[in-house]
């Protein structure tokens, strides 16, 4: 059993046909006989597979999928089956650490928190709220995030709060705001059961969300097979199943999507009646895509024009089209512009809000949706609009604070800008919770120097020592999944309750509790002098969140812990959004007034109203703009970074599960056959990949990556190198400090590099 | 000012604005978003000037030069100067467009209608970044 899911990450097929239920298949793995099972869901990707945690002798000993759940029908992927072992790792942080004389040393909670409070108080006096930055995660629980959002936005009153979700799902959320007026996944995973055509754009879903791929694979192997179009520079598992694969050059998504849209228009495949009554912007979109003939796009993307026509025909023939996008869009050139064109394809075909007809702008991390919803990722809580004074008033009333306390003079500061302010010295206090920027942000030499700067006081809350905790002034040990109760929401809006199964190790505590201690210690108060944050337990936070979200598009008011216990996870907003063809684009209700897609120019309320959407979706166009960093004679290849199915993020957890470590122990470099021949290297030869910013040394794998493109998985850092020195293992040594002008998501997929044999 | 001078001044304004964007980019290389987008805009201004060149030659006026901005190196100040320079260029587009209509110069009219919105966007981009950077620059 154990090795089975490594060799076959998707497990045995259970083929089924359109309109029937996806068969249940319960997957399980344990290292002993559980005494009891505790309800939870997986936190190792955005799919959110429901599972039960097996406990014996106060330890987690295994997991089994929940057959009753709507998301996974019992299945678990390799990370879900094996990743839980990290909870039991001897590497866990169990006591706070405080830097003394240059070294991190163990300390008591009182001393560690006092050290943080002392610095925080003096900075509040000297510099005020804008000296504070908070950089959080996509892997905590809703209850942790909402506590942090109230602490930072309503208590300290800083605008500098963002999540590492900026790296994984910012474009997903932003493209939904640009097109539909508000974040919120339109579709549902159940649309896989009904669709007749699948469009994958920049999503290697067989590796990133294995269980959702299993569902698609089961449709592809069942009666009434849906057609599959894949746009991806790599020959992925899904590409191998595709009817048409468009292996575009990195960074050219907008060109190929514009060509597909042009074909749909030219071939009369637009549902004009639906478009006229439910959208605005058709004329401008048609004009923008006009020059993108298949031949023109083929030249930009370096693919075959006939393949573009064939893909457009499949999309045009679809009666139930389900579209997916992920990091190949979100972390690439023109991220938001491209993601919006995916939305546009479904809108032009009038295929949204009905069974099998939908868009899934996927998320990366398991709880990223909550980071976005609670106001920890560039918006105000519950999808409130920073430019809408009424929305700010609502929060101020809810929290009983002066509206001016809540910064709303601009969009909440994004992660890359937070690090820039830290670099400049205007942010002097940075609290990093549940994320590892010293491996995951672009251009790591720069990030290390920012974090190591003595002017910056760095607090890190984490469960394991890592490359970021090494640079901290104070480290708090945290309780993680399985060791605390809370909720989280997956990429199709399914909310799951995850109950505490075991005690945290040593003195580790939940992030929520640590933030509450900090708020208490600072004496944060509401305007009547009462403590600002009035809740303590996870369920109390959740109930406060239900109130905060009431009446907003992400309305949790009908969802309770009680309702989440026992059965399946529950989707907020119902199974599908926009079933009535109405969209949240009323100016007083929408989350964002939107942006111009090529420059990121922020629209005002007046400009937004001029679009006249008012309940209709917005077809936003964008011409193709070449990547900022194009290959040169010195750096002739394009770097693509991404994931492997066996690991998550910087392997903080998956690097501590034996099966997953054995499956992918170290970094590698993927080259095309032709590039390998040209460079005189073969499978297994060690090469040096260099960009203007750094280098990585790793062995070669010859895969189906397209010519001119180099792929390196981004998971590997330095904590498990057995003492070897040098910064030559993390893919982000090479990447460029650059972000999408609209979503502010860093661009990891178009750095120029050269490769040499070592 | 007559139409020949207006066209020449617009052309000179685009050249000066291209230089401004290049200088802004160079001065603020550590502000990565400003740095990269300003380079794109500089090339866009170059392209505008190139499109205008045949019309300038047709009118045959040498026109007055337009001074570039004197940047201080402070981001907020420099964006403010850039905004003013872009706005002045936009006004020259509007003036030239009005002149083109009155003179029934279809070539000029088409160029103004096609490119004026790009200058408008350059100006709004500067304003977006002014709004973003002012709070931290002023109160931190």
Instruction: Look at residue A370 and give its three-state secondary structure.
Output: helix
Alpha-carbon distance B76 to nearest alpha carbon in chain A (angstroms):
14
State yes or no: pLDDT of A66 exceeds 70.
Answer: yes
pLDDT at residue A722, rounded to an integer: 79
How do residues A121-145 score in pLDDT, each as one tens digit?
999 999 999 999 999 999 999 999 9
How do residues A435-488 score in pLDDT, each as one tens digit?
999 999 999 999 999 999 999 999 999 999 999 999 999 999 999 999 999 999
- Partners of B21 on chain A (C-beta within 8 Å) are none
- Band (pLDDT 50/70/90 cuts) for residue A2 is very low
Please list the residues that pair with A757 across neighbouring strands. Answer: A687
- Side-chain half-sphere of A113: how many Cα atoms within 13 Å? 15
CB contact under 8 A, A130 and B139: yes
Polymer length of chain A: 758
Please list the residues that pair with A609 across neighbouring strands. Answer: none
User: Is the residue at B66 inside a domain?
Assistant: no
- Partners of B128 on chain A (C-beta within 8 Å) are 600-602
State yes or no: pLDDT of A489 exceeds 50.
Answer: yes
Q: So what's the ipTM on this one?
A: 0.96
How do residues A686-698 score in pLDDT, each as one tens digit?
999 999 999 999 9
CA distance A512 to A717: 28
User: Is the residue at B64 inside a domain?
Assistant: no
CA distance A250 to A252: 6
CB contact under 8 A, A741 and B140: no
Alpha-carbon distance B3 to nearest alpha carbon in chain A (angstroms):
31
Nearest CB among A159, A409, A599 relative to B37 is that of: A599
pLDDT at residue A724, rounded to an integer: 84
Which residues 6+ apart lie within 8 Å of A102 measured at CB? none
Mean pLDDT of A326-341: 98
User: Is the residue at B65 inside a domain?
Assistant: no
pLDDT at residue A3, rounded to an integer: 58
Compute the Cα dihedral for A682, A683, A685, A686 and give only its sign. Answer: positive
User: Is the residue at B85 inside a domain?
Assistant: yes
Q: Which residues of A touch B (CB under 8 A)?
A: 127-128, 130-131, 159, 407, 409-411, 416-417, 420-421, 423, 426-427, 596, 599-602, 625, 628, 737-739, 741
- Partners of A596 on chain B (C-beta within 8 Å) are 121, 124
Nearest CB among A131, A409, A601 relative to B124 is that of: A601
State yes or no: pLDDT of A55 exceeds 90.
Answer: yes
User: Is the residue at B83 inside a domain?
Assistant: yes
Tokens of A264: 């749909």
CB contact under 8 A, B139 and A628: no
- Side-chain half-sphere of A600: how many Cα atoms within 13 Å? 23
- Partners of B33 on chain A (C-beta within 8 Å) are 600, 739, 741
User: Is the residue at B13 inside a domain?
Assistant: yes
pLDDT at residue A250, rounded to an integer: 94
- Partners of B40 on chain A (C-beta within 8 Å) are 625
Counting the structural domains of chain B, the total is 1
Q: Which of A1-10, A177-186, A421-430 has the lowest mean pLDDT?
A: A1-10
Place of tokens 């205008």: B52
Mean pLDDT of A716-721: 94
How do residues A14-36 score in pLDDT, each as one tens digit?
999 999 999 999 999 999 999 99
- Band (pLDDT 50/70/90 cuts) for residue A273 is very high
Sheet strands (E) in A444-545: 457-462, 474-477, 486-489, 494-498
Find the residue in B nearest to A428 (Cα).
B140
Q: Which of A251-265, A315-329, B14-28, B62-76 has the lowest mean pLDDT?
A: B62-76
CA distance A4 to A735: 35
CB contact under 8 A, B135 and A738: no
CB contact under 8 A, A600 and B125: yes
- Partners of A409 on chain B (C-beta within 8 Å) are 131, 135
Mutate to test the interface with B, among A287, A424, A750 (most CBs of B within 10 A): A424
CB contact under 8 A, A416 and B32: yes
End-to-end CA distance of chain A: 39
Alpha-carbon distance A527 to nearest alpha carbon in chain B (angstroms):
23
Tokens of A370: 């909550």
Mean pLDDT of A89-106: 97
How do residues A660-673 score in pLDDT, each as one tens digit?
999 999 999 999 99
State yes or no: pLDDT of A503 exceeds 90.
Answer: yes
Q: Work out the mean pLDDT of chain A and round it to a whole number.
A: 97
- Which of A210, A261, A211 has the alpha carbon at shortest distance from A231? A261
**Alpha-helix residue ranges (DSSP H) falling in A2-158:** 4-7, 78-82, 109-126, 142-149
Mutate to test the interface with B, among A600, A604, A750 (most CBs of B within 10 A): A600
Query: Which residues span the domain enclosing B26?
Result: 3-59+72-138
Cβ pair A223, A19 in contact under 8 A: no
Show the domains of chain A with their CATH numbers.
Answer: 4-88 (2.20.25.90), 118-153+402-571 (3.40.50.740), 170-362 (3.40.228.10), 637-757 (2.40.40.20)
Write out the H or E segment, with its range, that includes residue A100: strand A97-100
Nearest CB among A407, A625, A737 relative to B32 is that of: A737
Mutate to test the interface with A, among B28, B29, B32, B34 (most CBs of A within 10 A): B32
Alpha-carbon distance B58 to nearest alpha carbon in chain A (angstroms):
29
User: Is the residue at B44 inside a domain?
Assistant: yes
- Partners of B36 on chain A (C-beta within 8 Å) are 628, 738
pLDDT at residue B63, rounded to an integer: 65
Mutate to test the interface with A, among B42, B82, B114, B136 (most CBs of A within 10 A): B136
Instruction: Look at residue A662 and give its three-state secondary structure.
Output: helix
How do residues A281-307 score in pLDDT, each as one tens digit?
999 999 999 999 999 999 999 999 999
C-alpha pair distances (Å), A51 with each of A2, A32, A40, A488: 17, 17, 5, 13
Sort strands A637-642 and A709-713 into parallel, antiparallel or unpaired: parallel
Find the residue in A nearest to B29 (Cα).
A737
- Partners of A750 on chain B (C-beta within 8 Å) are none
Tokens of A356: 């099998």
C-alpha pair distances (Å), B65 with each of B8, B62, B68: 8, 9, 9
State yes or no: pLDDT of A1 exceeds 50.
Answer: no
CB contact under 8 A, B135 and A410: yes
User: Is the residue at B28 inside a domain?
Assistant: yes
Which CATH number do you get for residue B106? 1.20.1260.10
């Amino acid at each position: 059993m154990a090795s089975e899911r490594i060799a076959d990450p998707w497990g045995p097929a259970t083929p089924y046909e359109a309109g029937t239920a996806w068969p249940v298949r319960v997957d399980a793995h344990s290292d002993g006989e559980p005494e009891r099972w505790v309800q939870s869901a997986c936190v190792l990707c955005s799919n959110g597979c429901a599972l039960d945690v097996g406990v014996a002798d106060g330890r987690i000993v295994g997991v089994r999928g929940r057959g009753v759940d709507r998301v996974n029908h019992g299945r678990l992927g390799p990370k879900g089956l094996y990743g839980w072992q990290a909870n039991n790792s001897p590497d866990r942080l169990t006591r706070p650490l405080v830097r003394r004389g240059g070294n991190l040393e163990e300390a008591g909670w009182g001393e560690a928190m006092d050290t943080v409070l002392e610095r925080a108080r003096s900075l509040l006096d000297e510099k005020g709220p804008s000296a504070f930055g908070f950089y959080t995660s996509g892997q905590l629980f809703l209850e942790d995030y909402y506590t942090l959002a109230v602490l930072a936005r309503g208590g300290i009153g800083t605008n500098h709060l963002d999540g590492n979700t900026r790296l994984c799902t910012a474009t997903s959320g932003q493209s939904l705001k640009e097109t539909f007026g508000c974040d919120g996944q339109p579709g549902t995973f159940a649309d896989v059961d009904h669709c007749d055509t699948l469009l994958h754009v920049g999503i290697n879903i067989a590796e990133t969300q294995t269980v959702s791929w299993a569902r698609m694979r089961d449709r592809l192997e069942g009666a009434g097979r849906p057609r599959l179009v894949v746009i991806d520079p790599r020959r992925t598992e899904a590409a191998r199943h595709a009817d048409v694969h468009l292996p575009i050059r990195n960074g050219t998504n907008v060109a190929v999507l514009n060509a597909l849209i042009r074909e749909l228009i030219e071939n009369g495949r637009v549902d004009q009646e639906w478009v006229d009554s439910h959208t605005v912007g058709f004329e401008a979109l048609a004009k923008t895509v006009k020059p993108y003939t298949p031949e023109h796009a083929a030249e930009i993307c370096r693919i075959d024009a006939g393949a573009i026509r064939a893909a457009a025909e499949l999309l045009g023939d679809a009666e139930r089209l389900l579209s997916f996008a992920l990091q190949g869009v979100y972390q690439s050139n023109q991220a938001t512009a491209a993601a919006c064109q995916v939305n546009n394809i479904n809108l032009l075909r009038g295929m949204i809000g009905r069974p099998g007809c939908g868009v899934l702008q996927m998320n990366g991390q398991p709880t990223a949706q909550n980071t976005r919803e609670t106001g920890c990722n560039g918006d105000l809580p519950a999808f409130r609009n920073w430019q809408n004074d009424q929305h700010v008033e609502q929060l101020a009333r809810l929290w009983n604070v002066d509206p001016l306390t809540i910064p709303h003079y601009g969009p909440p500061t994004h992660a890359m800008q937070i690090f820039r302010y830290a670099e400049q010295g205007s942010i002097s206090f940075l609290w990093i919770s549940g994320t590892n920027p010293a491996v995951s942000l672009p251009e790591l030499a720069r990030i290390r120097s920012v974090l190591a700067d003595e002017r910056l006081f760095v607090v890190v809350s984490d469960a394991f020592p890592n490359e970021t905790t090494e640079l901290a002034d104070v480290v708090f040990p945290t309780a993680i999944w399985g060791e605390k109760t809370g909720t989280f929401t997956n990429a199709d809006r399914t909310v799951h309750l995850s109950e505490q199964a075991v005690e945290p190790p040593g003195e580790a505590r939940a992030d929520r509790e640590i933030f509450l201690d900090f708020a208490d210690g600072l004496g944060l108060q509401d305007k009547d002098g009462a403590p600002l944050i009035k809740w303590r337990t996870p369920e109390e936070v959740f109930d406060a969140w239900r109130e905060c979200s009431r009446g907003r598009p992400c309305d949790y008011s009908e969802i309770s812990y009680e309702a989440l216990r026992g059965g399946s996870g529950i989707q907020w907003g119902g199974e599908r959004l926009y079933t009535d063809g109405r969209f949240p684009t009323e100016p007083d209700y929408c989350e964002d007034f939107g942006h111009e897609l090529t420059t990121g120019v922020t629209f005002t309320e007046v400009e937004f109203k001029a679009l006249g959407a008012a309940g209709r979706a917005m077809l936003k166009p964008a011409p193709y703009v070449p990547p900022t960093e194009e290959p040169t004679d010195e750096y002739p290849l394009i770097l693509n970074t991404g994931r492997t199915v066996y690991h998550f993020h910087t392997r903080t957890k998956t690097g501590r599960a034996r099966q997953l470590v054995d499956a992918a122990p170290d970094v590698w470099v993927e080259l095309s056959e032709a590039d390998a021949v040209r460079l005189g290297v073969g499978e297994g030869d060690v090469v040096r990949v260099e960009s203007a910013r750094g280098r990585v040394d790793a062995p070669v794998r010859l895969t189906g990556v397209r010519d001119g493109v180099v792929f390196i998985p981004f998971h590997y850092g330095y904590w498990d190198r057995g003492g070897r020195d040098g910064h030559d293992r993390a893919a982000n040594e090479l990447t460029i400090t650059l972000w999408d002008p609209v979503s502010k998501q860093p661009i990891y997929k178009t750095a120029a590099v050269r490769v040499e044999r070592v | 000012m007559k139409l020949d001078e207006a066209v020449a001044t617009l052309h000179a304004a685009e050249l000066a604005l291209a230089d401004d964007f290049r200088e802004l980019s160079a001065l603020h290389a550590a502000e990565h978003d400003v740095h990269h987008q300003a380079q794109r805009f500089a090339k866009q201004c170059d392209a505008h000037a190139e499109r205008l060149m045949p019309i300038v030659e047709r009118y045959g006026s040498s026109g007055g030069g337009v001074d570039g901005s004197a940047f201080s190196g402070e981001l907020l100040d420099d964006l403010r100067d850039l905004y003013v320079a872009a706005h002045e260029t936009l006004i020259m587009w509007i003036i030239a467009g009005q002149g083109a209509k009155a003179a029934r110069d279809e070539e000029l009219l088409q160029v103004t209608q096609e490119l004026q919105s790009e200058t408008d966007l350059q100006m709004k981009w500067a304003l977006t970044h002014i709004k973003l950077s002012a709070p931290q620059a002023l109160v931190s």
